[in-house]
Structure 1
Amino acid sequence: MQTRWNPFAVSNGAVALGPLMAREFDQLFRDLSLRPDSRELVPPADIYETAEGITLQVDLPGHDPKAIEVKVENDTLTLKSERKTERSDKEGARRLERSFGVYARTFVVPRTVDASKVEARYDNGVLTLTLPRREESRPRVVEVKVNS
């Protein structure tokens, strides 16, 4: 009898991947297949949203702040930077784990963001981008009038 192979099934005591993990793997492979240049590295990012706007924090340790390119065009924010190796000769290296090369990341910017007021700050290897909301999209408090 033949059994259909299920890569997410439990076998030999291994834990099955849940639907969340399966989605993460799917997203990972989609992201990798969408990269126009497979030599580009994707820096990790944290995204926070508040009433004032959106804050992005991107890890770019060892990058020259003057060489970091931040571009906002239509509804797309693109980050690009290159981390260059400090040593030209790899002779004598026992282990090389640090990544060098072009780092790039693209984000879709919501329409509620005022792209003309985006600010960027680089501190201790972290690039922080502040994307303020448009005035008309900010929540406003409406005063309740009481008729007496």
Structure 2
Amino acid sequence: MGVRDLIPWGRSAGNEAPALYRDEDRNPFLSLHREVNRLFDDVFRSFDGGWPRYGALTAPGVSWPTVEISDKDKEIKVTAEIPGLDEKDVEVLLDDGVLTLRGEKRSETEDKERQFSERFYGRFERRIPLGVEVEEDRVDARFKNGVLTVTLPKSAKAQSRVKRIAIKG
């Protein structure tokens, strides 16, 4: 028996075209079972370890507002996209090493004839654990064109903990 005999999609007798699918892929019940399992995995993965808050899920696995976090040597920068809101609609809190972004997006109109909408309305809250000590009195938050940028300078103690380790070849 050769290695080619172990590969199920490569077996062919004579001049036949090689099989492109494994035997279990041809069975519609096994395909359905696999797809249902994937669907449940995607749904439960989006809960982030607990039950979702109102308005927390806009797409599977994505919380709103979407954020970008960069951890540099001297600071942590958190950028959140919050289109359609003003700075008065957003609250930024820092408590015990957790940055909290919260607010509310209200509907501009009371359109009772609307049949379908993918827009998000309602309260939101996003908690981001920082994992390092920051200088709370130097935290800076700026809001421009629907983008909130929070700069959190690391404390001297947190900066000194970073140690670069040499890689030996």
Residue 144 of structure 2: aligned partner:
123
SS at structure 2 position matched to 1:66: helix
Q: Deviations over 1:44-91 (max 9, x none)?
A: 111101112111111111112112111111222111111110101332
Q: Give TM-score, length-normalised by structure 2.
A: 0.60
Query: Given the superposition, is the C-alpha separation of residues 62 and 12 from structure 1 closer, same or farther in structure 2, using an over 3 Å criterion?
Result: same
Q: Which structure is larger by alpha-carbon Rg, 1 or 2? A: 2
Alignment of 1:65-144 (within 5 A): 65-91=87-113, 93-138=114-159
Deviations 1:108-132 (A, max 9, x none): 1223322222111111211111011
> Aligned-pair distance for 1:25?
6.3
Distance 2:128 2:112 in 1: 35
Q: Does 1:63 align with 2:85?
A: yes
Q: 1:28 aligns with which of 46, 56, 60?
A: 46
Contact 2:136 2:152 in 1 (8 A): yes
Q: Distance in 2 between matches of 1:111 and 1:50?
A: 12
Give distance in 1, aligned partners of 2:100 and 2:82: 14
The 8 Å contact of residues 82 and 103 in structure 1, kept in 2 or not, is answered as yes
Structure 1 segments unaligned to the other structure (5+ residues): 1-8, 17-21, 140-148
Residue aligned with 1:138, SS: helix
SS of the residue aligned with 2:85? coil
* Alignment size in residue pairs: 122
Cα root mean square deviation, aligned: 2.9
**CA contact under 8 A between 1:63 and 1:81: conserved in structure 2?**
no
Alpha-carbon distance in 2 for matches of 1:95, 1:61? 20
2:54 alignment counterpart: 39
Q: Which secondary structure state, in structure 1, belongs to the residue aligned with residue 46 of structure 2?
A: helix
**Contact 1:79–1:104 at 8 Å: present in 2 too?**
yes
Q: Which protein has the bigger helix share? A: 2
Code of the aligned partner of 1:47: I
Regions of 4+ moved over 3 Å: 9-13, 24-27
CA distance in structure 1 between the aligned counterparts of 2:115 and 2:69, rounded to whole angstroms: 37
